[in-house]
């Protein structure tokens, strides 16, 4: 069921992203695509700012993540990777600002898709790029470990950092994306 947005512009578009992602996880690709359209429309038309960032940039990141996940769910991994790459490039170009503009990184989706495509060296680079900005990030470390293992190698340093990063968690993740 499609519902209307509670607030205008960026906040509403982020709500649309969340709704689209939730529908995607429930297997409702048609509804996820409908919400993706709303996010893209808001990105194209919004003049809003979030501190020093344009709504267009932030919404392009979440649109790229949602679009990539829709493409991945539809079986088009190459198109998904291209969408994630664009989202990651946009996110990487953002001016440093705290608190973070988004509580997640497009590099997590990009790296996971590259691992899935067995493009392990590219996945390693994506995760290492993210770890430069967020050292000891458990999501990135898991992806990096999977990428390194995919190349038939191992890194005791990465493994130890991953264990340390998740040592207080009661849930171990299986992928770098949620």
Confidence of residue 97 (pLDDT cuts 50, 70, 90): confident
- What radius of gyration, in Å, describes the C-alpha atoms of the chain? 17
pLDDT at residue 49 in the model? 84
Lowest-pLDDT range of 48-57, 59-68, 116-125: 48-57
Q: Hey, is 53 helix, strand or coil?
A: strand
Give Cα 75 distance to the centre of its chain.
Answer: 18
- Interatomic CA distance for residues 118 and 124, integer angstroms: 11
Size of the chain, expressed as the number of residues it contains: 178
pLDDT at residue 50 in the model? 83
Contact 50, 58 (CB under 8 A): yes
- Interatomic CA distance for residues 38 and 4, integer angstroms: 11
Could you tell me which of 134, 130, 135, 133 has the C-alpha nearest to residue 157?
135
Confidence of residue 100 (pLDDT cuts 50, 70, 90): confident
pLDDT at residue 126 in the model? 98
> pLDDT by residue (tens digit) across 2-33?
554 444 467 789 999 999 999 999 999 999 99
pLDDT at residue 155 in the model? 96
pLDDT at residue 7 in the model? 45
> pLDDT by residue (tens digit) across 131-141?
999 999 999 99
Residue 92, C-beta contacts closer than 8 angstroms, at least 6 positions apart: 107, 129
| Helix ranges restricted to H, the chain | 9-25, 29-45, 55-73, 77-93, 106-116, 120-133, 138-150, 156-165
- Interatomic CA distance for residues 50 and 78, integer angstroms: 32
């Amino acid at each position: 069921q499609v519902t209307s947005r509670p607030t205008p512009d960026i906040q509403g578009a982020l709500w649309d992203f969340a709704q689209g992602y939730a529908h995607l996880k429930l297997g409702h690709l048609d509804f996820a695509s409908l919400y993706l359209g709303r996010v893209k429309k808001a990105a194209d038309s919004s003049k809003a700012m979030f501190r020093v960032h344009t709504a267009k940039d932030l919404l392009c990141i979440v649109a790229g993540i949602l679009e990539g996940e829709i493409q991945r769910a539809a079986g088009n991994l190459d198109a998904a990777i291209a969408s994630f790459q664009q989202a990651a490039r946009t996110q990487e170009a953002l001016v440093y600002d705290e608190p973070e503009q988004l509580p997640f990184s497009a590099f997590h989706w990009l790296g996971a898709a590259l691992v899935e495509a067995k493009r392990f060296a590219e996945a390693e680079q994506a995760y290492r790029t993210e770890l430069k900005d967020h050292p000891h990030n458990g999501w990135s470390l898991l992806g990096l470990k999977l990428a390194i293992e995919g190349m038939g190698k191992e890194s005791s340093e990465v493994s130890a950092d991953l264990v340390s990063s998740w040592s207080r968690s009661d849930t171990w993740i299986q992928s770098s994306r949620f």
